[in-house]
Chain A
Amino acid sequence: MTVIEVENLRYRYPQQAEPALDGVSFSVQQGEFIGIIGPNRSGKSTLCQALVGLVPHFYKGAIGGKVMVAGLDVHQHQVWEVCQRVGLVFQSPFTQMSGAKFTVYDEVAFGLENQGVARDEMVRRIERVLRLLGLWEYRDRNPFALSGGQMQRLAIASVLALEPEVLVLDEPTSQLDPAGTSEVFAAVSDLCRQGMTVVMAEHKVDRIAARADRVLVLHEGKSIAFGPPRQVFAREDLPALGVAIPPVTEVCRRLGWQLPDGTYPVTVAEAVQMGGAARGNHNS
């Protein structure tokens, strides 16, 4: 089932000469994990915001094309309607905090209160997401007394509590240590297996390569590639466009460690296999 359908999306922020998005089209099936990569100012955050309708409803500006998410035509519905089905984790957790709540627990409750979720159900969901993100012991802390990493976990927890059909995350692990990053990627993969559709903008291409089903590459507001990680990272043009590729992929390219299908390893495990084979041939 197609859950996201973006057709020729063009968008320009108010008072800007250049479009932030310039003819982006792609579609996503239910339960897929889509990674969005590309240099800064390529349109990643704008696209994330367009999937929940903040672009154009909040930012205004000029928009064209069509965005269908979870059965709603985003341009024809208000943000509060789209938010019933689609959740967005902001790039900066400091910006996402409501500022209206004085404990971690109440911060997670904020979105649920706004959606009128029943009290018993709220209590159940809050505990579940705080435990999932390792924040249960901090539930009585003030959100602004948390470390950057803890606040980022809280930002993710607050959106997960809403149990959206589609989860959009804009660089959700920027403040997290490697273990925390692994946990978030694992949790997101789990949610996909349970049927949630996930779109994540990320600079950590090694993680995206290992976890995402498909990768969308943006450059100057245009989509320049969309496909499985190995196919996308096999493209020759990415480095020249300022698009990062996993370090192991770069190594394999330079050494000519090519897989039979013409692509290159994108994970350490794949590269170790190729490297072992390359050395085996050499020794024999």
Chain B
Amino acid sequence: MATITVENLHFHYTPGVPVLRGITLSIQPGTVAIIGQNGAGKSTFVRLLNGLLKPVEGYVQVDGVDTRSVSVATMARSVGLVFQNPGDQLFKSRVLDEVMFGPLNLKWPEEKARERALAALRQVGLEGVEEKNPYDLGLAERKLVTVAGILAMDTPVVVLDEPTIAQDRDGVLRLGEVVTSLRQEGRTVITITHDMDFVARYFERVLVFQNGRVLLDGTAPEVFSRADILSAAGLEPPQIAQLSMALGMNPPALTVEEFVELMQQRT
């Protein structure tokens, strides 16, 4: 299991246009959601965690290994990253080949790679599409193929960039189960998302990014009770948190179940 240490992290694509402006934090095994406006630096930040991008200043260490000192291929053994746009990730013409690509690159024997790939596809609810071309699937399923491709690599850290895009209710529930089971296995799950209900339900820690900095870092109830700061960051609490705060509950309930339970206790 892994510890991620980020120290005074700065990054830009173009000199003079800073994207990350000094981030210091550490991440232990568990679930972390990163929320924030478009352009706040969320996707850039996670690309620095697996060494796809290298810091301009400061450093990122995963279990003491500096991302600048090793290749991306080496980092890929510890940090798996699911891209925001499936089109940036998928390139094989068969779903099974796509999901086996990572494990085979870890030099696993073909049989083990196949087993893990099939298990990962089952985990995201995609049995039966192994032989299809990923581009014959809908966007939601294509996104789940990319998630399976990373799950199949068994990395201690799993990073999901907007996993719930295009997912329906059942797809979101299934992704939530994936997050929960990774947490129970002692792994680190870092997720960028705009879906506040998804955050409220499945994530222990929430980081609010704004303009290349971390504006808030706390538990989900702590962060979602700060409606003033969230609003300044272009965000809003989940519907249930809004409802419970308007009715004077503090700390707010975050999910339907919590809210109903709290109301029933009152009466």
Listed in ascending order, the chain A residues whose CB lies under 8 Å from chain B are 38-41, 45, 91-92, 94-95, 147-150, 171, 174-181, 203, 206, 242-244, 246-248, 250-251, 254-255, 268, 271-272, 275-276, 279, 282
Interface residues of B in 128-146 (CB under 8 A from A): 138-141
B124 within 8 Å of A (CB atoms):
no
Q: Which of A176, A243, A255, A268 contacts B194 (CB 8 A)?
A: A176
A149 to B39, CA, bound (A): 8
Closest CB in chain A relative to B109 CB, distance in Å = 35
C-beta contact mask, B179-198 vs A, less than 8 Å → 1, else 0?
00000000000000010110
Determine the distance from Cα of A276 to Cα of B43 in the docked complex, in whole angstroms. Answer: 41
- Chain B residue, CB-CB nearest to A203: B168
- The contact of B256 among A39, A149, A250, by CB within 8 Å, is A250
A206 to B236, CA, bound (A): 13
Contact A149 B240, beta carbon cutoff 8 Å: no
Contact between B167 and A268 (Cβ–Cβ < 8 Å)? Answer: no
A248 to B236, CA, bound (A): 15
**Minimum CB distance partner of A152 in chain B:** B38
Q: Which of B165, B171, B267 is in CB contact (< 8 Å) with A174? A: B165
Given A177-B36, A250-B256, A255-B260: A148 touches B169 (CB 8 Å cut-off): no
In contact, B85 and A94 (Cβ under 8 angstroms): yes
Total count of chain B residues near the partner, CB < 8 A: 41
The distance in angstroms between the C-alpha atoms of A148 and B85, with both chains bound, is 8
Tell me, yes or no, whether B70 is within 8 Å of chain A by CB: no
- Interface status of B239 (Cβ within 8 A of chain A): yes
Which residue of chain A lies nearest to B255 when distances are taken between CB atoms in the complex?
A247
Residues of A within 8 A of B247 (CB): 272, 275-276, 279
CB-based contact B243/A271 at 8 Å:
yes
Can you sample 16 A-B contacts with CB below 8 Å? A39-B168, A39-B169, A40-B138, A40-B140, A92-B87, A175-B165, A177-B194, A177-B235, A178-B236, A203-B166, A203-B168, A248-B239, A250-B256, A251-B240, A251-B259, A255-B263
Q: Is the CB of A177 within 8 A of B234?
A: yes
Residue of B nearest to A276 (CB): B247
Given contacts A149-B39, A175-B162, A177-B38, contact A272 B169 (CB under 8 A): no
* CB-contacts of B20-56 with A (<8 A): 36-39, 43
Given A40-B138, A148-B162, A275 and B38 contact (CB-CB distance below 8 Å): no
Q: Given A171-B166, A247-B238, A276-B247, do A180 and B139 touch, yes or no (CB 8 Å)?
A: no
Q: Is B138's CB under 8 angstroms from A175's CB?
A: no
Given contacts A91-B166, A242-B170, A282-B267, contact A179 B37 (CB under 8 A): yes
CA gap between A246 and B242 in the complex, in Å: 13
Q: Which residue of A lies closest to B230 (CB)?
A: A178
Which residues does chain A contribute within 8 Å of B255, judged by CB atoms? 247
Report the Cα distance A251→B239, complex, angstroms: 10
Contacts of A178 in B (CB 8 A): 194, 196, 234-236
Complex partner residue of A251 from B138, B171, B194, B243, CB under 8 angstroms: B243
- Residue pair B194, A254 in contact (C-beta under 8 Å): no
Main secondary structure of the interface of A (DSSP, over half): helix
A-facing mask of B225-260, CB < 8 A → 1, else 0? 000000000111011101100110000000110011
Using CB atoms, name the residue of chain A closest to B253.
A251
| Cβ B243 vs Cβ A248 within 8 A | yes
Tell me, rounded to whole Å, the shortest Cβ–Cβ distance linking A107 to chain B: 17
Set of chain A residues within 8 Å of B107, measured between Cβ atoms = none
Does B84 count as interface, using CB distance less than 8 angstroms? Answer: yes
Contact of B169 among A94, A242, A255, A279 (CB under 8 A): A242
With CB as the reference atom, state the residue of chain B lying closest to A38: B168
Question: Contact partner of A242 among B168, B196, B242, B259, CB < 8 A?
Answer: B168
**Apart from the given pairs A148-B84, A244-B168, 5 other A-B contacts in the complex at a CB distance below 8 Å:** A39-B169, A147-B38, A148-B43, A272-B247, A279-B266
Q: Which residue of A lies closest to B140 (CB)?
A: A40
Is B38's CB under 8 angstroms from A176's CB?
A: yes
Tell me the smallest distance from the CB of B39 to a CB of chain A, in Å: 6
Given A174-B165, A181-B194, the answer on whether A150 and B239 have CB atoms closer than 8 Å is no
B139–A91 CB distance below 8 A: yes
Alpha-carbon distance between A242 and B173 when the two chains are bound, in angstroms: 11
CA distance A174 to B243 in the complex (A): 24
Taking the closest CB of chain A, its distance from the CB of B224, in whole angstroms, is 12
Nearest 4 CB-CB pairings of A with B: A149-B38, A179-B234, A244-B169, A39-B168
CB-based contact A251/B38 at 8 Å: no
Are A45 and B234 closer than 8 Å at their CB atoms? no
- With a cutoff of 8 Å between Cβ atoms, the chain A residues found around residue B162 in the complex are 148, 175
Cα A258 to Cα B54 in complex, Å, equals: 55
A174 touches B263 (CB 8 A): no
Q: Are B138 and A45 in contact (CB under 8 A)?
A: yes
